[in-house]
A and B are shown apart, each in its own frame.
Chain A
Amino acid sequence: MPMFVMLSLSLQQGDVVEGYRLTWHWQTYIEGIRTYDEQIIRSLGYGLAACLLQLAIGYPMAYWIAFHGGSRKSSYLFLLLLPFFVSFVLRTISWHFVLADDGIVLGTLKGFGLLPEDFHVLATTGAVIGGLAYNFLPFMVLPLYVALERIDPALIEASYDLYASRVQAFLRVIFPLSLPGAFAGVLMTFVPASSDYVNSSVLGGTHNTMIGNVIQNQYLVAQDYPIAAALSFTLMALLLVGIFLYARALGTEDVLEASAR
């Protein structure tokens, strides 16, 4: 129901003083998308980049825990989840503090002359993507872990018995069987990462604004509700279509069957 109110609101015209009326003003969408196309594309790009980064970081980790974690598997998973007992906002702000230009990391390095005086990490694209990857990492690692953990070791043994090299065993057996986990992981991290605005406003600078920031700003600062609603609706539609296509492309059913814990 709130969705439809939002849809309606996005088609209205007016301002806070005069009030808003439903005028079926579709142009708001065109205008909104045209003005903020850069931010929309950037958000999807950042979301994708964060996903890939998480896969790169998370896959080896999940692999190691699943196959070499031994009896301490749950302890490793627990360590993975440890930071998430601290509030999301506080975590992000803590990074801002850690990475401050003259803070405990960069300041120290600069003190030793290892970095130029004006070097900075904050207010860069890298910082934003890093923050996104950091904040949603467990959502990537856990499904991957679950998928890898489930692989019957007998299958891998069998592949060795059939003279597969380690690389071949990995590529032909382990990797395909872990795909459902990767699918679920991407699904669970891409949506929150590409619609987030906390990371880009804490860790980003100019040219790092994401569509979430724009929506937040239009609703909670500029109070231009129609355009804000239109942009939220566009974002939702994009993400839904994306998920749908993605699910179709990978053959949803068995993939999900396997990834549902």
Chain B
Amino acid sequence: MSEHDIDPALLRGLTTRRGVFRLAGLAGAGFALAACGVEGKKAAKPKKDDVQKFWSGKKENGSLVFANWPYYMDPKRPELKQFSKETGTKVAYKEVIQDNASFYAKVRPQLAADQSIGYDIIVMTNGTQFSQMVDLGFLAPLDHDRLPNFAKHAGEKYKEQSFDPGNVYSVPWASGFTGLIYNAKYIDEEITSIQELWNPKYKGKVGMLSDTQEIGAYGMIATGADPEKSTKADWEKAAAKLKEQRDKGIVRKYYDQAYIDAVGKGDVWLTMGWSGDVFQRNLEGGDLRFVIPEEGGIIWTDNMVIPTTAKNPVDAITLMDYFYQPEIAGSLAEYINYITPVPKAQGVIEKDAAEAKGEDKEVLEMVAESPLVFPTAEDYANTSSYRVFKNSAEKKEYESIFQPIVTS
């Protein structure tokens, strides 16, 4: 703003040795304090009475804060409005999560200090951050007596997820695929293969995700390995492939959620991306296409969880359950176009489609039949999940292979 004055006396001060020695003395004190290090906090295995211990004495407060990703609800928030009308609970909905790692890094120190992070529900993808939150005891164990709709309507597949068996800490918000997104305004031919990401024709016009799990998995699929069962050798092979793609100048940039804006306005023509975002972006105009590559895609699940430090856990769990009513789940899926964990939502959407007219009808019919919202067994078979790490050493090894690719 204004020019900083550099005071000659100050610079002279910099060179006076006495001053520096004094500082060193001060430093000693600082160092003594700092030497104690950062505390770790490993949680004990979940016990049976945890649920009871957490939930006893908790009351409804009439309001809650919901932290979610962008493109995960109709901007008019019809479901939340209806929820507020029915229950009188106010919901503040915040689109603050751009990717798992940076969001988690932001809130972790607060969670570690047993402080509220200001959110009562957060949505985290199955993955390293999710597992770490479980390990560190940051997540409230869910009281399934308060989740009757979940018990009744959730698909069986969603009740036995390997990252959280028995839904001790989480219930799914939505699942989705990581696939290829291209802007048909710039690319005329049909894209089907993951190898197109390496096509020199699109040099400088290819986007990749910066998340190491996503990009690692894609590198492995491109080199013919299964991410779920991959070994260190597979990782290295994948990393070499990704490096080649980067160093040939094919990749323009590694993106978080920002990729959708880039492909939407033509900064990139072809990118890795998430299934539902495309439809929502197309509602705003444009012609983006989504494909699961023929070599296979990645499927993931975003989960609603309640931090142990949440101020309004009862309101939060009520809202969680609310989204498992087929009507609500259907209405959500109609807009976001991600896989709903409630199979009965399909009936709801079909019914809505039958009642709708014109363009809306077409869209709704398409959603009801879309394999991206209601995948078939075959679709599931062609997709793989992220690699689950056995321990933190393995995770670190993985990171050290893929992190340098993204930060080049």
Contacts and interface: CB of A to CB of B under 8 A. Distances in A.
Do any CB atoms of chain A lie under 8 A from CB atoms of chain B in the complex?
yes
A176 B115 CA distance: 58
Contacts of B11: 247, 252-253, 256
A149 interface: no
Contacts of A220: 102, 105-106
Interface string A1-17: 10111011100101111
B30 interface: yes
A5 B1 CA distance: 30
Contacts of A101: 265-267
Nearest to A247: B11
Contacts of B186: 117
Most buried by B among A188, A205, A221: A221
A18 B41 CA distance: 6
A21 B7 CA distance: 40
A257 interface: yes
Nearest to A143: B3
A7 B104 CA distance: 24
B102 A221 contact: yes
Interface string B87-125: 000000000000101101110100000000000000000
B35 A22 contact: yes
Nearest to A31: B400
Contacts of A17: 40-42, 132, 135-136, 392
Nearest to A102: B266
A109 interface: no
B371 interface: no
Given A16-B40, A187-B6, A206-B254, A223 B108 contact: yes
Interface string B364-408: 000000000000000000000000000010001001000110011
A39 interface: yes
B33 interface: yes
Interface in A95-114: 100-103
A19 B39 contact: yes
B253 A123 contact: yes
Contact of B399 (A120, A222, A244, A252): A222
Interface residues of B, number: 54
Given A19-B40, A206-B408, A9 B34 contact: yes
Contacts of A247: 11
B14 to A, nearest CB: 8
A17 B391 CA distance: 11
Interface in A211-260: 213-214, 217, 219-223, 225, 244, 247, 252-253, 256-257, 259-260
Contacts of A207: 246, 408
A13 to B, nearest CB: 9
Contacts of B37: 8, 12, 14, 19-22
A47 interface: no
B392 A260 contact: no
B251 A206 contact: yes
Interface string A141-161: 011001000000000000000
Contacts of A221: 99, 101-102, 105
Contact of B265 (A3, A8, A100, A223): A100
B27 A4 contact: yes
A25 to B, nearest CB: 12
A223 B254 contact: no
A27 B265 CA distance: 45
A260 B189 CA distance: 63
A49 B203 CA distance: 26
Contacts of A22: 34-37
Nearest to A220: B105
A12 B101 CA distance: 22
Given A207-B408, A261-B5, A123 B252 contact: yes
A205 B186 CA distance: 20
A122 interface: yes
B407 to A, nearest CB: 5
Nearest to B14: A244
A138 interface: yes
A77 to B, nearest CB: 10
B5 to A, nearest CB: 5
Nearest to B100: A221
Interface of A: 1, 3-5, 7-9, 12, 14-22, 35-36, 39, 81, 84, 100-103, 117-118, 120, 122-123, 138-139, 142-143, 146, 184, 187-188, 204-207, 209, 213-214, 217, 219-223, 225, 244, 247, 252-253, 256-257, 259-261
Closest 7 CB pairs of A and B: A19-B40, A8-B34, A4-B30, A102-B266, A5-B34, A256-B8, A20-B38
21 contacts: A4-B27, A7-B31, A7-B34, A8-B37, A14-B37, A14-B40, A16-B136, A17-B136, A18-B42, A18-B392, A19-B37, A19-B39, A100-B266, A100-B267, A101-B267, A102-B266, A188-B6, A222-B101, A223-B105, A256-B6, A260-B8
Given A16-B132, A222-B399, 7 more contacts: A7-B31, A101-B266, A123-B204, A123-B267, A206-B408, A220-B102, A252-B12
